[in-house]
Structure 1
């Protein structure tokens, strides 16, 4: 039976250690090579440093409540008087000495509900910190999605530039063969070669943009060491997911974490003002003592009460400071509401513009540019168009492809900003 308990204990400890290892283990680089947005958001919750700082602030506020609700500790004092500087104080042990020994205990009794008010202030601070954590998650989620779509755009731009370079390489090879055969001039080959070199530069710049986007996203999810392993798999959000920005329920504004945090700080300032006013209610200190004097065999007890006299100062400064803090908190709450309204207005304007741009690219511009580019290729192959016109047609089509990718990225980020501005953030 004893061995069975030992085995059970070892198994339990092993499971606990494995669970702890799972919580603290690093993400394997191979897991980042097919990173979805939902996976990135889960990594944000556990690894993002700004979110972790907000969590520590909440834990600190919770610790402050423990100290705010405690009663003052009693004070024990030991004293001895009548110690002779010249001569003897008697023989024997300490109790036989001719010394007046006193043991005293003093207890401060707070009045005016100070402890309850301190607790209320601490509870409001916890509420504000909890909403700060939610708002930190809201802001960092928005930053994460923006960084995610920046990297997705960089990946797509790099692919387009690589495809463009491959096309120019093939065209250059074909042009050099035609030059040898006398079907094309050296000037046209030189133009093609210049555009091929430009395409290589564009590829290198796209690679640099992708590496920078990887570094930014890696910081957001706490994977700086594995930044080069990041590769995204999600597609762009479709216009089918576009919300109707004209039917926004503005009552959701009060449910935003930043506004609720500001409201909690206003309530905290109100309680702090009451706490400052309670300082004018006098606290009293009650003491009891035991006194021993061996020569006269006197053992006495006594009691005392101490009451402060407000003859010089009545805490006017603390009360005035609390009033100022309350006014500041209320103004900060109004400022937060105004900022939130402005954020919603900007997000609406950006999202509506992005939707229109993506729709035009998808429904008209890309298709027409593709038709023009194909027609230019056909005409060039049959001798009906010069190389300059062909290169211009390709350049226009490539630029439109990149512009379309940028428009989709703008739409994705505008959608994320709209969601962050209007949707309440759940507690992490």
Structure 2
């Protein structure tokens, strides 16, 4: 009778609480339960993180600067070749006689003579328009690369956030197990102190609960790593945290133990640190939203994926650059105009009006010659680059379709696994635990058998969390693979 009372007390005060689902205990849904994080850690949802990513993600900021650079390059490409102005004068003079002697060496100031020239390059073959076309295509490519960067950075954020929520949900399960086991151990220690059970029963229980402590520490570490990954994507310092914040204190040793201590009074729990940064990630991890869109529609959306569009625009820019290289067959003409004024003495016959200054004008046209090999070489380079861009565009499209095929297969498998757990696998594990509990109360099972059943239930809960994570990540992967927005879950 006394032993049965001990068993009943254990079930009511300890392990039975761990077997109850979260909704039956009135706890918040998975991913939303409050954790003992640091006081400075503020809650952050996935939608809030995505909004911050648009403004703060450094990779995205760098991609936007690429658009600014491409637009500035268009100003350069669309401008006319700048004319060149030259100004000079004769600074010295001397004469030579028939016998080779030099006479009359002198220097002149700019006030005595000046020469001004203007040189203008006239482009032929529509080179300016073609350069502008290349620059505009490069702007479009840079804009598409910004969208592709946003696509990949959003997926990395969602992947890190969902991974952190998985660790958080598993940590919530581990902490609930620890709380129940702590209550059970405290009760066993009191029973040992009162002489109701031998010390060996408590020692066997303490040895059997150690793996649950590993669940606490491993999931706390995984949650901290997930928070740090999210912080880095949001341009926050992952290492900026207050030392000692977010600590879960261990169960004090020796509570309820028999006088004199002994092995049963040794610590059985560890201290864990939860939040190393200023974020406490929150989300309804128990939700499993439907896809809401067909496979054929998603397959058509691959054509509009940002990297596919960027590759096509790169091909357009390469083709425009090839046409610009072919325009090099039309030789440009350089026009040089000059004017010179000189007040230097002139050896001219005497006339009625003495000469004060001489003004002269000049006009020159210059055309480059022997340019055929250079032009044909440039055309060959541009043609090869255009071929490369075409091959890259085709490869990008095929890779996008391969990504979609893999993402769709992953979605189907994740949905099937989630349906398995939602269809009763978790309920069967809970029922199995309750059956073992009832057998224990009736004296047909031992406390260690009940702990084994709790381990099975705990493993099933962890696997159910993993199935939810796989499904939510599969939705995010489908959006990343197809470029179709609105598929990723809203938690």
TM-score normalised by structure 1 residue count: 0.86
Q: CA RMSD, aligned part only?
A: 2.3
Aligned to 2:8: none
1:384-403 pair list within 5 angstroms: 384-403=444-463
Distance 1:363 1:293, change over 3 A: same
Secondary structure class of the residue paired with 1:231: strand
Aligned to 1:22: none
Aligned to 2:225: 212
Q: Does 1:83 align with 2:92?
A: yes
5+ unaligned residues in a row in structure 1: which ranges? 1-28
CA contact (8 A) 1:168 1:195 kept: no
The alpha-carbon deviation at position 254 of structure 1 amounts to 1.7
5+ unaligned residues in a row in structure 2: which ranges? 1-37, 95-102, 242-275, 347-356, 487-491
Within the candidate set 299, 309, 316, 1:267 is matched to 316
Aligned to 2:110: 94
1:276-295 pair list within 5 angstroms: 276-294=325-343, 295=345
Within the candidate set 341, 355, 363, 2:401 is matched to 341
Within the candidate set 108, 132, 136, 2:149 is matched to 136
The alpha-carbon deviation at position 31 of structure 1 amounts to 9.5
CA contact (8 A) 1:54 1:132 kept: yes
The farther-off stretch of 247-256 and 52-61 is 247-256
Distance 1:109 1:183, change over 3 A: same
Aligned to 1:242: 291
Aligned to 2:76: 67
* d(CA) in 2 for partners of 1:175, 1:237: 34
Aligned to 1:251: 300
The farther-off stretch of 330-339 and 288-297 is 288-297
The farther-off stretch of 202-211 and 116-125 is 202-211
Aligned to 2:159: 146
CA contact (8 A) 2:227 2:281 kept: no
Q: Does 1:326 align with 2:343?
A: no
CA contact (8 A) 1:113 1:278 kept: yes
* d(CA) in 2 for partners of 1:316, 1:382: 95
Secondary structure class of the residue paired with 1:241: coil
The alpha-carbon deviation at position 357 of structure 1 amounts to 1.1
Secondary structure class of the residue paired with 2:92: coil
The alpha-carbon deviation at position 55 of structure 1 amounts to 0.6
Secondary structure class of the residue paired with 1:377: helix
Count of matched residue positions in the alignment of Structure 1 and Structure 2 = 394
1:180-219 pair list within 5 angstroms: 180=193, 184-219=197-232
* d(CA) in 2 for partners of 1:310, 1:424: 54
Aligned to 1:49: 58
> Which has the larger share of helix?
1
The farther-off stretch of 262-271 and 294-303 is 294-303
Distance 1:393 1:272, change over 3 A: same
Aligned to 1:351: 411
* d(CA) in 1 for partners of 2:204, 2:296: 54
Q: Does 1:118 align with 2:135?
A: no
* d(CA) in 2 for partners of 1:237, 1:315: 65
* d(CA) in 1 for partners of 2:430, 2:421: 11
* d(CA) in 2 for partners of 1:31, 1:124: 48
* d(CA) in 2 for partners of 1:151, 1:127: 36
The alpha-carbon deviation at position 32 of structure 1 amounts to 6.4
* d(CA) in 2 for partners of 1:71, 1:122: 14
Distance 1:94 1:338, change over 3 A: closer
Distance 1:393 1:313, change over 3 A: same
Distance 1:247 1:37, change over 3 A: same
* d(CA) in 1 for partners of 2:386, 2:398: 19
The alpha-carbon deviation at position 185 of structure 1 amounts to 4.7
Distance 1:338 1:393, change over 3 A: same
* d(CA) in 1 for partners of 2:236, 2:91: 72
* Deviation per residue, 1:144-175 (Å, 9 max, x gap): 11111111111111111111111222222233
CA contact (8 A) 1:70 1:115 kept: yes
The alpha-carbon deviation at position 237 of structure 1 amounts to 6.8
* d(CA) in 1 for partners of 2:461, 2:314: 49
* d(CA) in 1 for partners of 2:371, 2:92: 37
* d(CA) in 2 for partners of 1:323, 1:312: 16
Distance 1:311 1:196, change over 3 A: closer
The alpha-carbon deviation at position 245 of structure 1 amounts to 4.6
CA contact (8 A) 2:41 2:277 kept: no
* d(CA) in 2 for partners of 1:177, 1:90: 116
Q: Does 1:302 align with 2:353?
A: no
* d(CA) in 2 for partners of 1:159, 1:237: 13
The farther-off stretch of 60-69 and 313-322 is 313-322
* d(CA) in 1 for partners of 2:469, 2:311: 33
CA contact (8 A) 1:134 1:425 kept: no
Aligned to 1:24: none
The farther-off stretch of 221-230 and 66-75 is 221-230
The alpha-carbon deviation at position 183 of structure 1 amounts to 5.1
Aligned to 1:383: 443
Q: Highest CA radius of gyration, 1 or 2?
A: 2
